[in-house]
Amino acid sequence: MSDVGWRRRFVRSVYADQNDSPAVRQALDRLLRDLGSGRGLNVGAGLERLDARLIQLDLVRRATTDCVADAGHLPFRAGAFDLVVSQETVEHVADPFKVVREMARVLRPGGRIYLQLPFVIGYHPGPEDYWRFTRAGIAELLHQAGIGQTRVEVSVGAGTGFYRIAVEFAASLAGRLAAGLYLPAKGIVSLLCYPFKWLDGWLQGGVARDRIPGGYLAVGRKPDEPG
């Protein structure tokens, strides 16, 4: 594997926690169970196939990609899908409001949308990295897209938020001393600080749960057409 490929895989492994959290698994399992024989779309699908009923859409062609397209111009008719999923993708687009409106457009009336976004995380271009989202920010994205009945909750909590800051700080400090130390230090400190993630569930019950969470997930429902 090339040095660039190794670096990209390492970065993905450090930030994979948001897709493996209990809150994320439970929310997605529930939506996929309710999908039944319906049809879904995964926007920014990446390297793993979430479910066989979901069309995998991404900017680049991979073995798991079904459709290569820009998330701001989805090549599907209005109301084509029963479920639209997007995990850790919208922070990488220049106009997140436009992209979420496109997701809502291709969702049928009564269909569900799952949106997962980071709050505390290091800069991670893919191909660029523009935004971070608070609880209110992700709710506003969906509101302006016409999505109702939205539930927003922490996907990974303050333990993960602190872990990410600590790992990046230590790695940046080591990299300032010698450029070649950045990634080795990141690996070592990520292992040492990993137990902080175990505090996520406990900290989510506190009054300060929205101060430094790793990120949020939101589930919304497109309103039914007027009868």
Distances in whole angstroms, Cα of residue 81 to Cα of each of 4, 60, 94, 158, 174 = 36, 22, 24, 34, 48
> Is the pTM value of this prediction over 0.85?
yes
The three-state secondary structure class of 82 is strand
Q: pLDDT tens digits for 38-74? A: 999 999 998 889 999 999 999 999 999 999 999 999 9
Q: What is the pLDDT of residue 3?
A: 41
The CATH fold of domain 14-157+206-221: Rossmann fold (3.40.50)
Of 154, 133, 137, nearest to 197 (Cα)? 154
Q: Which residues of 193-225 are buried (b: 16+ CB within 10 A; e: fewer)?
A: beebbeebeebbeeeebbebbbbbbbbbbbeee
Q: Give percent of the chain above pLDDT 70.
A: 91
Q: pLDDT tens digits for 22-35? A: 999 999 999 999 99
Domain boundary assignment for the chain: 14-157+206-221
Question: Contact, 133 vs 18, CB < 8 A?
Answer: no
Q: What is the pLDDT of residue 148?
A: 86
> What DSSP character marks residue 84?
E
Residue 137 to residue 192: CA distance in whole angstroms: 32
Q: Which residues of 4-29 are buried (b: 16+ CB within 10 A; e: fewer)?
A: eeeeeeebeebbebbbebebbeebbe
